[in-house]
Amino acid sequence: MKIHSTAIIHSEAVIGDNVEIGPYSVIDKNVKIGEGSVIHNNVTITGNTTLAKNNVVFPNSVIGAEPQDLKYYGEQSTLIIGSDNVIRESVTINTGTEVGGGETLIGDNNLFMSCSHIAHDCIIEDNVLLANGVLLGGHIKVESHAKLLGLAGIQPFVTIGNTPMWADFQGLSRMCLHT
């Protein structure tokens, strides 16, 4: 482990082998970080949050914060992140809510670019790309291999299919956006 002297890590946090944690990062009590992960400087990981192995989290990201939902009243909820994800600068990912099953789930091998947001109770499958500034409302499912391009805002309770909308301009029959 390579943990910078200014990082604040709760004594009950679980940190895997070969994890790097940069300056001024905060790792809270109920956090688990899998082996080989790199947490750059100024990252906050809080809540009941689990990151599997080989994830990279860039500066100013806030992972596992409470949901921004008026129906949330402090109940226990979780965020589970798979392996080999890249979470770029200033990304925010919230835990779930009781109404949504209490979990936000992120698969493997995803790229979340700068300033993207994944709200409560979302399910992001594998190999997904959220470009800069993509904002996902609560209860959204993004299927494997979907790509959402910069500054897209998606309303709650939507499923994004595995073929990007812009890939088929021949008609609406194969459109991947389903409510």
CATH number of 146's domain: 2.160.10.10
C-alpha span between 13 and 2 (Å, rounded): 15
Q: Give the count of domains, the chain.
A: 1
Q: Find out whether 85 and 61 touch, Cβ atoms under 8 Å.
A: no
Instruction: Report strand pairing: 56-57 vs 86-87.
Output: parallel
Instruction: Report strand pairing: 26-27 vs 44-45.
Output: parallel
The model's pTM: 0.90
Q: Which residues of the chain have a pLDDT value below 70?
A: 163-179
pLDDT at 162: 80
Full domain range(s) for residue 114: 2-178
pLDDT digits (tens, 9 = 90+) for 48-100: 999 999 999 999 999 999 999 999 999 999 999 999 999 999 999 999 999 99
